Amino acid sequence: MGKCLICQHVKIEHQRASELLQPLDIPVWKWDEISMDFVTGLPRTQKKNDEFWVVVDRLTKSAHFFPIRKDFSISRLADIFQQEIVRLHGTPTAIVSDRDSCFKSRFWKGLQNAWGTRLKFSTTFHPETDGHIEQTIQTLENMLSWHASIKADPYELLYGRKCRAPICWNEVGERVIEGPELIEVTNKKVTVAKEKLKEARSRQKSYADRHMRELTFNPGDRVFLKVSPCRGVRHFRIKGKLSPWFIGPFKSLDRVGEVSYHLTLPLQLSHVHNVFLSLLRGYKYYPLLVVSYPLDQICKDLSLVEEPEKILDRQERVMRNKTIPFVKILWKNHPEREATWETKESMRASYLRFFS
């Protein structure tokens, strides 16, 4: 690839991902730090609920699942949080979540600030930050089963005793523990859980780092930012040399934590969060060529949406005994040789103005 600016923009990386695993700190006590996320797109129930709000304790892995509706206001969610989490466990010292608009709202930030709770948002496009939430959602029906990291089931660790399930009510159980002895047993279980989490965290980091490579930049270095090229009718990969996979270069301001970087982005990208982890590529200076891309077409999720400019040609093709009309599209910022054939139906659905 060398220093060719076009190649630095469009060539796909085949190297290992440039991000070493940076585990979160282990919480001090039960329900001291929590994670939360929404499960969306569920069938509507008789009570008109269509989502789940999942809240997980980062130490014991125990969780609460609240049925909610998509149209619930942030104040309604705050009431549920206070009644179901704060009432039972007290106010947490930290909340780990993604950058959902609810969690980024001024009301939610103000409420948590008043409670003294620190909000820890995951880095853009890095769901690994809150991976155990995704695992909890996937194993919703098995929440009382053995948890590999803490070597116990969440119920036993949270309450200091095994869950008395209906299947074993008639069996002779273990000795009932009460009073000071229960506190001592609970403290021992928490201590063991912390040690098991340290072991699991170290083991998971070593496994993950085998497939990663360390990429470091200094303040003032210029870097490229990875985008996802897409068109309104279909996603595409290498379609012409000028279809960019990276935009920039942009100036690196400083290092955030151990592996993330704070970039100086232009005004057109003010809607994009400017701290990145694994979407960067080093810039090699090349003074003879400047390539610019329409930054105003880059969405919040770093997808570069390309718009059609005009229809160059039309034809019909017979496919499986059906005659399907196609149109040849010239895309903006692309030469005519990179025009593509698209179905008339898909183009009409996305760009009706070309057929009126």
Helices 74-81 and 106-115, axial angle in degrees (round to 10):
30
Shared-domain flag, residues 191 and 295: no
This prediction's pTM: 0.45
When pLDDT is averaged across residues 233-247 and rounded to a whole number, the result is 49
Shared-domain flag, residues 10 and 102: no
| Gap between the Cα atoms of 67 and 45, Å rounded | 10
When pLDDT is averaged across residues 83-111 and rounded to a whole number, the result is 86
Shared-domain flag, residues 294 and 350: no
Distances (CA, A) of 57 to 89, 119, 220: 10, 15, 39
Q: Is residue 25 part of a domain?
A: no
Shared-domain flag, residues 289 and 155: no
Shared-domain flag, residues 327 and 193: no
Average predicted confidence (pLDDT) for the chain: 73
Structure-block tokens of residue 250? 């942009």
Task: Select the more confidently predicted residue: 144 or 267.
Answer: 267
Single out the residue of 328, 340, 279, 335 nearest to residue 304, CA to CA.
Answer: 279
Domain containing 315 equals 308-354
pLDDT of residue 193: 80
pLDDT of residue 198: 80
Shared-domain flag, residues 226 and 265: yes
The CATH number that applies at residue 329 is 2.40.50.40
Q: Is residue 143 part of a domain?
A: yes
* Across 84-98, 206-220, 321-335, least confident range: 206-220
Shared-domain flag, residues 273 and 195: no
One-letter amino acid at 154 equals P
Structure-block tokens of residue 145? 């089963």
Shared-domain flag, residues 104 and 222: no
Q: What is the pLDDT of residues 283-324, one digit of tens each?
A: 776 654 444 555 656 666 656 667 788 899 999 888 778 888
Of 188, 209, 230, at which residue does a domain stop? 209
Shared-domain flag, residues 105 and 252: no
* Across 102-111, 166-175, 257-266, least confident range: 166-175
Shared-domain flag, residues 205 and 220: no
Q: Which of 83-87, 224-228, 318-322 has the highest mean pLDDT?
A: 83-87
Q: Coil, helix or strand for 140?
A: helix
Question: Is pLDDT of 68 > 80?
Answer: yes
When pLDDT is averaged across residues 112-124 and rounded to a whole number, the result is 81
DSSP lists the bridge partners of residue 94 as 33, 118
Q: Is residue 140 part of a domain?
A: yes
Question: Is pLDDT of 41 > 70?
Answer: yes
How many separate domains does the chain show? 3
Q: Is residue 261 part of a domain?
A: yes
pLDDT of residue 151: 67
Q: Helix, strand, coil % (nearest 5) of the chain? A: 30, 25, 45
pLDDT of residue 267: 75
The CATH number that applies at residue 40 is 3.30.420.10
What percentage of residues in the chain have a pLDDT greater than 90?
4
When pLDDT is averaged across residues 62-77 and rounded to a whole number, the result is 89
3-state secondary structure string, 203-219? HHHHHHHCCECCCCCCC
pLDDT of residue 172: 43
Contact 307, 327 (CB under 8 A): no
Task: Select the more confidently predicted residue: 341 or 304.
Answer: 341
Shared-domain flag, residues 105 and 200: yes
In angstroms, what is the C-alpha Rg of the chain? 26
| Gap between the Cα atoms of 323 and 325, Å rounded | 7
Question: Own/partner pairs for 21-26, CB < 8 Å, 24+ apart?
Answer: 21/128, 21/204, 21/205, 21/208, 21/209, 21/212, 22/257, 22/258, 22/259, 23/201, 23/204, 23/205, 24/58, 24/96, 24/120, 24/129, 26/59, 26/194, 26/197, 26/198, 26/201
Q: What is the pLDDT of residues 156-201, one digit of tens each?
A: 777 766 655 443 434 445 544 445 666 677 777 778 887 887 887 7
Single out the residue of 115, 54, 101 nearest to residue 80, CA to CA.
Answer: 54
When pLDDT is averaged across residues 264-268 and rounded to a whole number, the result is 76
Nearby residues of 283 by Cβ (< 8 Å), 6 or more positions away: 8, 221, 222, 223, 224, 248, 249
Question: Is pLDDT of 62 > 80?
Answer: yes
Q: Is residue 281 part of a domain?
A: yes
pLDDT of residue 139: 63
Question: Is pLDDT of 238 > 50?
Answer: no
pLDDT of residue 255: 76
Of 177, 193, 209, at which residue does a domain stop? 209
pLDDT of residue 112: 86
Shared-domain flag, residues 61 and 144: yes
Question: Is pLDDT of 10 > 70?
Answer: no
φ and ψ of 179, to 5 deg? 60, -145
Q: Is residue 24 part of a domain?
A: no
* Across 66-70, 86-90, 202-206, least confident range: 202-206
